Amino acid sequence: MADVKTFVPAPDRAPPSNAVGAFAWVRDNLFGSIGSSVATLLFFYLFFSYVPPFVEWALINANWTGTDRSVCEANTAGACWTFINVRFEQILFGLYFASNPDEIWRPTLIFIVFFALLIPLLFEKTPGKKWLVIGILGVFPVLFYFIVYGGYFGISQSNTTQWGGFLLTFALAFVGILLALPIGILLALGRRSEMPVIRSICVVYIEFWRGTPLITILFMASVMLPLFFPAGVEFDKVVRAMIGITMFQSAYTAEAVRGGLAAIPKGQAEAAMALGLGYWRRTVFITLPQALKISIPSIVNTFIALFKDTSLVSIIGLLDLLNMAQTASRSMEWKGYDIEAYLFAGFIYWAFCYGMSRYSQNLERKLDTNRRN
Amino acid sequence: MTERARVPLHRDPKFRALVFQILALGFVVYGFYSLFQTTVDNLVARGIQTGTSFFDEVAPFQIGFSPFFDYKLGESTYIDVFFVGIQNTILVAVLGIIAATILGFFIGVIRLSPNWLVSRGALAYIEIFRNVPLLLQIMFWNFAIFLPSLPAPKNSIEMGSFYLNARGFHTPLPVVDDSTGFTIWIAMLVILCAGLVVFARRAKARFEETGEQLPIGWISLGVIFGGGYLLYLIAGSPLVFDEPVLGRFNFKGGGQLPLPLFSLWFALTLYTAAFIAENVRAGIQAVSQGQNEAAHALGLSRKDTVRLITIPQALRVIIPPTISQYLNLTKNSSLAVAVGYEELVAVWAGITLNQTGQALVIIGMTVAVYECLSLFTSFVLNWYNKRIQLTER
């Protein structure tokens, strides 16, 4: 037999030494052109003139321990985290729970349960996600009511006007998203309905709430809501704010879900119709599950916006995270430490919003590749 | 078998749709009716007379900042308060939109810089500012940074005739001194601009005919500023500058941006710019690389590629979400209530509501103003989307 020569390619030569490694990266990415070099130097200048002093102030020279302002007055070169440390429970849980040491377990337990349910949900491979979702959306709110609001099983009833801090921010945002989701889904379906009257009602509702600033809605909820209900029906301030936020949020959720519904190919609904499914079965079993899956990133985005917007309740006098931090920094004992208060509250908001936005971006990327396959 | 099976009435889709809609309409109408009834009952029970008669009552409080209307304590009425509020809302919205657009475009462009540090810096800016509540940012700048660190009026920071202190930012303001001279100057400016329009048309016609390009933009800019200044001198310098002068407590005269307005403007700009920057980045990335390569293949210079190929296509993607951001900025300006800038929600839905107790009318009017703005925005958006659809193939 004749020799069969197979082609064996020579191994690749290594790239030139000046095209790889840290040096090449620095040259390409930091000093690629004259303009780029100037920008890099400018960046370094700005960075080193602002960041190290800030780090020194915020971390290295900062005061962490102590119980009153004398510690901070002795060392003014650093931030006064002592203040946050002393008021930590207030800023997190509000006056009611912070001033009753026997009750502090209630909000603590509720947050532990919440994060125990939430964190496994963020990982892709967790088994039994369905139960976790049911736990968060169905069981958790009931638990929250019984433990934080109380009034049953020997747990004393808490005063909602004394709810505050992060607990209140969390409660407002959670109630907002929980109630807004079903209302928003119905509104989105209504807006895509073929019945003109239903469609117009939904469009007017959605556009009305979307066109008004939340602060006006909160004013409306706190001033006008009592007028709308017969005498004798009374809501406290927190519930009024929750109603306003739910109305507002449902309009935004509706738009997010509508985006998802619009992205489902028409063939899905048509195939379901051909199989003899009526409107509700078609919607509940075929279109809605697909639409909701696609619209999770936008729903999370509206949730981020809502989480930030709950801070507006401090204008109508509720002591949420922002207002609690601010109130603490204006008290006699801690006057003058506003920067620390705002930075701390800002950091909590930032950590949650940034986390959620990263999560939604990841999800978006994942869903996007699914569609291309 | 020509006879079709009759669909029972309760299964007929058309009939069912009709019934549903009548039910829904009835439900909504009944809901509004009972809401209205309870509200009227409640108002009667509390002895509140709803109406617009309080409009003409004299408002018993002062509004310190009203650049275009005259507001006088003891003379101005509640309805004047409403218009002053709208004026101040529009003022901060316009200032914010201009500044946020400039900053947002800048951040969005450098986000795509080939320089790693610069693009990461822009990313850090975006992620920090859009993930912290705007209200917190407004309060932070106003109460934690500007108010404690800016000096009292006596020790203002001076920048020429500009002064910055804890009360606000004070600038010289041009005031018409010689009104005939001013009219002559404006008339000459109009003629100059008309001349430029004719020139630009000629230049364009010439370009279409011969392909010769004139730097129309630079020439126009030079003529408007150089010629404008020359004409100003010819007209006998009809403007004088009203300079801020230190009085007993604060500066008098000139233009002034009170500190709450300054903080609000600052925070709104930083916050909205982060969102606009993301729109700009997405818009530029939406232009496919093939477009740039094709432009290079046609021999367009780098500058012309950006100007004629990238920007027009990117703007199509950038403009619609940016217009929504402008609306958001305008709605967000209502957070001024936290720092005491006297815009619509603060003076009308806040102070006036407390003074008169006319919740229904006042909240209704406030909502109506924002609804009008929002309708106007969606009108502009629809118009723009239709227009770009026509030019698209």
Identify the CATH number of the domain in which residue B360 sits: 1.10.3720.10
**A189: closest CA of chain B, how far (Å):** 14
Distances (CA, A) of B170 to A303, B153, B177: 40, 10, 21
pLDDT tops 60 at residue A230? yes
Give ∠ CA A300-A301-A303 in degrees, rounded to 5. 60
Closest partner CB to B359 (pick from A194, A227, A345): A227
Q: Looking at chain B, which residue has its C-alpha nearest residue A222?
A: B359
One-letter identity of residue B58? V
According to the model, what pLDDT value does residue B270 have?
94
| A291 backbone dihedrals φ, ψ, rounded to 5° | -65, -40
Q: Do B359 and A354 touch (CB under 8 A)?
A: no
| Best-predicted range by mean pLDDT (A88-102, A327-341, B324-338) | B324-338
Is B137 among the domain residues?
A: yes
Interface test with A, best of B117, B281, B343, B373 (most A CBs within 10 A): B117
Secondary structure (3-state) at B246: strand
Residue with tokens 């909701």: A292
Contacts of B15 (CB under 8 A, 6+ apart): B9
Say if the Cβ atoms of B128 and A350 lie within 8 Å.
Answer: yes
Of A338, A261, A265, A257, which Cα lies nearest the Cα of A298? A257
> Domain spans of chain A?
70-103+158-372
Query: What tokens appear for A83 in the block?
Result: 């203040």
Alpha-carbon separation of residue A148 from A76, A109, B18 (angstroms): 39, 9, 46
Q: Which helix (H) or strand (E) holds B4?
A: none
ipTM of the predicted structure?
Answer: 0.85
The mean pLDDT of A65-76, rounded to a whole number, is 74
Nearest to A357 among B131, B140, B359 (CB): B131
Q: Which among B122, B71, B119 is positioned nearest to B274, based on CA atoms? A: B122
Alpha-carbon Rg for chain B in angstroms: 28
Tokens of B128: 């920090």
State the residue for tokens 């209200």: B135
**Structural domain boundaries, residue B305:** 78-143+260-391
The nearest CA of chain B is from the CA of A146 a distance in Å of 30
- Which pLDDT belongs to residue B389? 67
Reported as a pLDDT band with limits 50, 70 and 90, residue A371 is: very low
Q: Is the pLDDT of residue A205 over 70?
A: yes
Query: Is 70 exceeded by the pLDDT of residue B1?
Result: no
Q: Tell me how far the alpha carbon of residue B202 is from its chain's centroid.
A: 35
The highest-confidence range among A63-77, A80-94, A221-235, B338-352, by mean pLDDT, is B338-352
Q: What is the DSSP letter of B160?
A: T
Least CB–CB distance from A227: residue in B17, B42, B337: B42
- Give B337's contacts in chain A (Cβ within 8 Å): 215, 315
Residue A79 has a pLDDT of 75
Long-range contacts of B193-201 (CB under 8 A, 24+ apart): B193/B224, B196/B220, B196/B223, B196/B224
User: Which range, of A199-203, A232-236, B41-45, B262-266, averages the lowest pLDDT?
Assistant: A232-236
B228 in a domain, yes or no? no
Give yes or no for a contact between A304 and A74, defined as CB atoms under 8 angstroms apart.
no
Backbone angles phi, psi at B202, to 5 degrees: -55, -45
pLDDT at A368: 66
Instruction: Report helix, strand or coil for B256.
Output: strand
Q: What is the pLDDT of residues B253-276, one digit of tens each?
A: 777 788 888 889 999 999 999 999
Q: What are phi and psi of B300, to 5 degrees?
A: -75, 145
The pLDDT value recorded for residue B312 is 86
Contact B345 A213 (CB under 8 A): yes
> What confidence tier does A92 reach under pLDDT thresholds 50, 70, 90?
confident
Are A215 and B366 contacting, i.e. CB atoms less than 8 angstroms apart? no
Instruction: Look at residue B186 in the predicted model and tell me its pLDDT.
Output: 86
User: Is B278 part of any domain?
Assistant: yes
First-residue to last-residue Cα distance in chain B: 51
The partner residue sitting opposite A40, judged by closest CB among B20, B25, B115, is: B115
Q: Using an 8 Å Cβ cutoff, are A319 and A96 in contact?
A: no
CA distance to A19, A219, B110, B234, per residue, from B119 (Å):
22, 41, 6, 49
Is residue A373 predicted with pLDDT exceeding 50? no
Topology of domain A70-103+158-372, per CATH?
A: MetI-like fold (1.10.3720)
B238 contacts B181 by C-beta, under 8 angstroms: yes
Q: Among B38, B353, B370, whose Cβ lies nearest the Cβ of A228?
A: B38
Contact A240, A222 (CB under 8 A): yes
In this predicted structure, what is the pLDDT of residue B2?
53
Percent of chain A with pLDDT over 70: 97
- Residue of chain A whose Cα is closest to the Cα of B148: A336
Amino acid, single-letter form, for residue A30: L
Mean per-residue pLDDT, A194-212: 87
Task: List the structure tokens of B294.
Answer: 């094709």
User: For residue A10, what are its two tokens?
Assistant: 């020579």
CA distance B16 to A285: 22
User: What is the C-alpha to C-alpha distance for residues A194 and B14, in angstroms, rounded to an integer?
Assistant: 11
Spatial CA neighbour of A209 closest among A108, A302, A138: A302
| B246 vs A272, higher pLDDT | A272
Distance CA A307, CA A177 (A): 9
Burial class from Cβ neighbours inside 10 Å (0-12, 13-18, 19+) for residue B156 reads buried
Partner residue opposite B21 with nearest CB, options A198, A304, A312: A198
Give the distance between the most distant pair of CA atoms in chain A.
Answer: 105
The mean pLDDT value for B195-216 works out to 83
Q: Report whether pLDDT(B390) > 60.
A: no
Nearest to A208 among B28, B121, B371 (CB): B371
CA separation for the pair A313, A215 (Å, rounded):
8
pLDDT at A369: 54
Q: How confident is the model at residue A34 (pLDDT cuts 50, 70, 90)?
A: confident
**In whole numbers, what is the pLDDT of chain A averaged over residues?**
82
| Residue A32: pLDDT over 80 | no
- Quickly state the pLDDT bin for A372 (edges 50, 70, 90): very low
Closest to A223 (Cβ–Cβ): which among B121, B331, B359?
B359
End-to-end CA distance of chain A: 46
- Is B117–A39 a contact, with Cβ atoms under 8 angstroms apart? yes
For the ranges A150-164, B118-132, B177-191, B200-214, the lowest mean pLDDT is seen at: A150-164
Contacts of B216 (CB under 8 A, 6+ apart): B199, B200, B203, B204
Chain B interface, best mutation among A186, A214, A223, A280, by max B CB count within 10 A: A223
**pLDDT exceeds 80 at position B91:** yes
Residue B165 within a domain:
no
CA dist B339 and B329 (Å) reads 16
Query: Is B128 within a domain?
Result: yes
Q: In the structure, what pLDDT confidence band is assigned to residue A30 with cuts at 50, 70 and 90?
A: confident
* pLDDT classification of B123: cutoffs 50, 70, 90: very high
- Highest mean pLDDT: which of A60-69, A230-239, B203-212? B203-212
Instruction: Find how far residue A74's CA is from the centre of its chain.
Output: 38
Distance (Å, whole) CA B166 – CA B143:
11
B282-303 pLDDT tens trace: 888 888 888 889 998 998 888 8
Beta carbons within 8 Å of A68's beta carbon, 6+ residues apart: A82, A86, A333
Nearest chain B alpha carbon to A301: B131
How far away is chain B from the Cα of A282, in angstroms, using its nearest Cα? 15
Query: What are the structure tokens assigned to B204, written together?
Result: 């364009």
Q: What is the mean pLDDT of chain B?
A: 84
Substitution target in B23, B44, B111, B135 with the highest count of A β-carbons within 10 Å is: B135
Residues from chain A that touch B367, judged by Cβ atoms under 8 A, are 212, 216, 220
Beta bridge partners of B174: B241
What pLDDT is attached to residue A1? 57
Cβ <8 Å between B39 and A227: yes
Query: Residue B166 CB: number of other CB atoms within 10 A?
Result: 16
How high is the pLDDT of residue B172?
80
Cβ atoms of A186 and A205 within 8 Å: the answer is no
Nearest CA of chain B to the CA of A342: how many Å?
6
Record the pTM: 0.85
Contact flag B115-A30 (C-beta cutoff 8 Å): yes
Contacts of residue A280 in chain B, CB cutoff 8 Å? none
Report if residue B17 sits inside a domain. no
Name the minimum distance, in Å, from the CA of A3 to any CA of chain B. Answer: 47
Q: Which two tokens stand for residue B156?
A: 């203002």
For range B24-53, the mean pLDDT: 82
Please state the rounded mean pLDDT for residues A65-70: 74
The neighbouring-strand residues paired with B256 are B170
Query: HEC string of chain A?
Result: CCCCCCCCCCCCCCCCHHHCHHHHHHHHHHCCCHHHHHHHHHHHHHHHHHHHHHHHHHHHCCECCCCCCHHHHHCCCCCEHHHHHHHHHHHHHHHHHHHCCCCCHHHHHHHHHHHHHHHHHHCCCCCCHHHHHHHHHHHHHHHHHHHHHCCCCCCCCCCHHHCCHHHHHHHHHHHHHHHHHHHHHHHHHHHCCCCHHHHHHHHHHHHHHHHCCHHHHHHHHHHCHHHHCCCCCCCCHHHHHHHHHHHHHHHHHHHHHHHHHHHCCHHHHHHHHHCCCCHHHHHHHHHHHHHHHHHHHHHHHHHHHHHHHHHHHHCCCCCEHHHHHHHHHCCHHHCCCHHHHHHHHHHHHHHHHHHHHHHHHHHHHHHHHHHHC
Mean pLDDT of B33-43: 83
Q: Do A198 and B42 touch (CB under 8 A)?
A: no
Contact between chains at B38 and A230 (C-beta distance less than 8 A): yes
Inspect the interface and report whether the beta carbons of B370 and A212 lie closer than 8 Å: yes
Distance CA A233, CA A6 (A): 90
